[in-house]
A = this chain, B = another copy of it.
Amino acid sequence: MLSKIQQEAKEVLTNYIEKNQLRKTPERFSILEMIYDTEGHFDAEQLYINIKNKSINVSRATVYNTLDVLVACELVTKHQFGSNHAVYEKAYGSRQHDHLICMECGEVFEFCDPRLHQIKQTAAELFDQKVRNHALTLYGNCQKEKCPNKKK
């Protein structure tokens, strides 16, 4: 059974599809459901594998296409943490947040700072732009004996 968040996400997608005259294909809703069953970050390939494992027949092309749609309707956020490897996460029902990545072990921390909103406003005024979105990632190193899973 679907959670409240999942149902609401489904509505958002439905509205977006109707407003933009796209088609309500079962694949799009299967993928959305799969994403909202996933905690934390994931990449396109993992999503593809997870869906295949549920014996749902989708192609990589459809996964990528659908991810674009979901990013466009703001149900999913796309991050470019490393090179050449986009990671995604569900956006609806989650607080907007940014990331701090430990370069020692790769652990990802999430945080939220209201001052960022002020920065966005200031920049928007300065360049006469409407700022729709942002990506802030901090790169750090642990201080102590934490970071149990050091990379190499």
B80 pairs with A103, CB closer than 8 A: no
Number of copies: 2
B129 pairs with A143, CB closer than 8 A: yes
Min CB–CB distance A134 → chain B (angstroms): 5
B113 pairs with A140, CB closer than 8 A: no
Q: How far is the CA of A5 from the CA of B40 in the complex (A)?
A: 44
Q: How far is the CA of A116 from the CA of B136 in the complex (A)?
A: 10
Does A46 sit within 8 A of B, measured CB to CB? no
A134 pairs with B136, CB closer than 8 A: yes
Min CB–CB distance A118 → chain B (angstroms): 6
Q: Which of the listed residues A83, A111, A113, A141 has the most CB atoms from chain B within 10 Å of its own CB?
A: A113
A140 pairs with B132, CB closer than 8 A: yes
A137 pairs with B134, CB closer than 8 A: yes
A138 pairs with B131, CB closer than 8 A: yes
Q: A123-B138, A132-B141 are in contact. List 9 more A-B contacts (CB 8 A).
A: A109-B123, A111-B126, A113-B122, A116-B119, A127-B140, A131-B139, A131-B140, A133-B138, A134-B137
Which residues of A approach B to under 8 Å, CB–CB? 80, 83-84, 86, 100, 102-103, 109, 111, 113, 115-116, 118-120, 122-124, 126-144, 146
